[in-house]
Amino acid sequence: MDRLRRSSFYKYFGVYLFLFVLGAMVLFPMVIAVSQSFMTNQEVNRWPPKVIPTEPTLDAYRQVLTQQDLRLDLWLRNSLFAASGHTLAVLALCAPAAYAFARLRFPGNKILFAFLLATIMLPSQVTLIPNYLLMRDLDWLDSFRALIFPGAANVFGVFLLRQFFMQIPQELEEAAVLDGASYFGRFRHVILPLSMNAIMALAIFVFLGHYNDLFWPLIVTSSLETRTLPVGLTILNQSYAGQYRPMILAGAVLSTLPILIVYIVFQRRIIKGVTMTGLAGR
């Protein structure tokens, strides 16, 4: 392998070239967003466009964080809170259900599971209007409950966890039965600890999906205090795009920073988790 590597630069020159070009194309929009967020409005609205600010300024960041009608810090907290709550709800509902489907014999196991799988065919849009009206009738509009609970019964989550639970050797559970463990004890002390990888993978997948969702939070939240980051960004865009462009870029940068930091720290785990959940979908 090492010999191959040393002699391989010329052999794989085309591959390197392609990766550098693609990498540059991926990075370029981010670099522009970051560097122009340190410019003044005048410098950004200039032809030819500049990549490096002549006099870097934090003006855009100051403005985006101090406007009365923008609450980026609060929106970030809301997004993190709602996405975490939703993820926990998904895990709390899906893991026990997946255990029942994977391990327990009960009348209707197969039919019920087949029915759940078939519902994956229907897109979530079909539930939007009835669920929105339900939120209104429950007086849940503009609250975290509306962001956390609908959609928490995630069929894909059950499917994914069931696959993993079924792979755990039956003998391990039998040992727990001999120790007098109840069904809950077996689930809690045997199955869960052995499937932490799958659970983490599902958690990452669900969290990212919810954190970046726009449609549902857009329709169920209305006050400045309950908006989430993606919705907040659209508000920022509508109110300030014409006035002070670097603010928009600063907002985009600030909103992406937390998730990017988490990504860089846990890159392996996240990439593995996303791959794992993706492959299970096959």
Partner 1 sequence: MYQTNARVAKPGLLSQILSPSLKTREAIAAYIFLAPFLIFFSIFFVRAVILAVEYSFYDWRLLRPTRPYIGLENYIELFEDEVWWTAVQNTFVFTIMTVIGTTIVALAAAIAVTQPVRGQGFFRVLLYMPSLFSVGAVGLIWVWLLSTQFGVINYGLSFLGIRPINWLGDPDLVLPALSLTTIWWSFGFPMLILIAGLQGIPEQLYEAARIDGANGRQLLFNITLPLLRPAILFVTVTGVIAHFQVYGQTYIMTSGGPGRASYSVVYYLYQMAWVAFRMGYGAAVAVAIAVIMALLTTLQFLFISRRVEY
Residues in region 61-80 near partner 1 by CB under 8 A: none
In whole angstroms, what is the distance from residue 175 CA to residue 135 CA? 46
Over its C-alpha atoms, the chain yields an Rg (Å, rounded) of: 24
3-state secondary structure 156-225: HHHHHHHHHHHHCCHHHHHHHHHCCCCHHHHHHHHHHHHCHHHHHHHHHHHHHHHHCCCHHHHHHCCCCC
Structural contact between residues 157 and 202, judged by C-beta atoms closer than 8 angstroms: yes
**Of the candidate residues 110, 137, 171, 180, the single one contacting partner 1 (CB under 8 A):** 180
Q: What is the length of the chain?
A: 282
**Of the candidate residues 12, 41, 142, 145, the single one contacting partner 1 (CB under 8 A):** 12
Determine if residue 105 is left, alpha or beta; phi over 0 gives left, psi from -120 to 50 gives alpha, anything else beta: beta
* Residue 91 CB neighbour total at 10 angstroms: 20
Structural contact between residues 204 and 182, judged by C-beta atoms closer than 8 angstroms: no
Closest to partner 1 by CB, 8 vs 243, is: 8
The interface region with partner 1, picked from 48-56, 62-70, 164-172, 195-203 by CB under 8 A, is 48-56
Residue 236: CB minimum distance to partner 1, A = 8
Closest to partner 1 by CB, 57 vs 127, is: 127
- Residue 168 as a binder of partner 1 (CB under 8 A): the answer is no
- Distances from the Cα of 84 to the Cα of 45, 141, 152, 173, 234, angstroms: 39, 19, 12, 30, 22
**Of the candidate residues 74, 93, 192, 194, the single one contacting partner 1 (CB under 8 A):** 93
- Residue 104 as a binder of partner 1 (CB under 8 A): the answer is yes
- Residue 266 as a binder of partner 1 (CB under 8 A): the answer is no
Q: Residues touching partner 1: how many (CB under 8 A)? A: 106
Residue 55: CB minimum distance to partner 1, A = 18
- Residue 23 as a binder of partner 1 (CB under 8 A): the answer is yes
The interface region with partner 1, picked from 52-60, 139-147, 165-173, 256-264 by CB under 8 A, is 256-264
Structural contact between residues 134 and 128, judged by C-beta atoms closer than 8 angstroms: no
Residue 24: CB minimum distance to partner 1, A = 10
- Residue 211 as a binder of partner 1 (CB under 8 A): the answer is yes
**Of the candidate residues 215, 222, 225, 243, the single one contacting partner 1 (CB under 8 A):** 215
Residue 210: CB minimum distance to partner 1, A = 11
The interface region with partner 1, picked from 52-60, 131-139, 140-148, 165-173 by CB under 8 A, is 131-139
Q: Which residues between 145 and 164 bind partner 1 (CB under 8 A)?
A: 149-153, 155, 158
Amino acid, res. 80: L
